[in-house]
Amino acid sequence: MNKIAIFMADGFEEIEGLTVVDIVRRAGIDIDMVSIGGRLEVKGSHGIVVKADKIIADINKDDYNMLVLPGGKVGTENLEACEELIDMIGNFYGAGKYIAAICAAPSIFAHRGFLMGRKATSHPSFESHLEEGGAIVTHAPVEIDSGIITGQGMGASIEFALAITGILAGREKADSIAEVIVYKSPAK
C-alpha cells in the first residue's frame, strides 16, 4: 500500500499543502499530515491553523513511500531547520524513494545536491538556489526527474498533486480525479 508523509511547518503555504492532501485522499492514497513541531497545530503562512495527523517524533519513516514538502518561504526555512526531517529526506533520496517539493521547498533538495543534472522547477524567486545546486531549471509547472517531483508554486498545486497521484495510483486514476474536480491542465 502506498503511503505519503507531507510535512507541515509554521509558515507553510496552505494551498500547496492542503491541495496535495485533498487530491491524494480522493484517489484513495493514504497520507499523513506530519507536524515538524512538538504539537499537532500548525499555523500556515496566511494564518490558517491546521491540525496535523501526527508529529514527526511519532512516525516510522519505513511506513512511507513518498515524502512531500509544501512551500512558503518561512515554512521552507522551518522545514530545512528540522534535522530529523532532513535526515529522513536524505535517506529517501539515497534509497531511490520518491521525494517531492513545491514552491520554495525544492531549494532544500538543491542545497543537498539532489537536483544536480536533473530537471526541476520552483517558485521563480528560488530558481537561483536550484541553479546553484546544478539543476536544469525548466520553469514548467511540475517536473518529475529520477524520483524527484518539483512544483513551481501555488498556481501549480493541482498539477503537482495530480503528478503525485499519477505516480502512486496510476495516470488513469489521476486523470479521473482531474475530471471530477474539473481541472484542465494548462496548455504546454
β-bridge partners, 136? 119
Separation CA 183–CA 165 (nearest Å): 14
| Rounded (5°) CA angle 158-161-163 | 110
Phi, then psi, of 142 in degrees rounded to 5 = -145, 145
Q: What DSSP letter does each residue of 8-52 carry, written as one string?
A: E-TT--HHHHHHHHHHHHHTT-EEEEEESSSSSEEE-TTS-EEE-
Query: Is 134 in a helix, a strand, or coil?
Result: coil
Q: Which residues carry out catalysis?
A: 103
Separation CA 29–CA 2 (nearest Å): 6
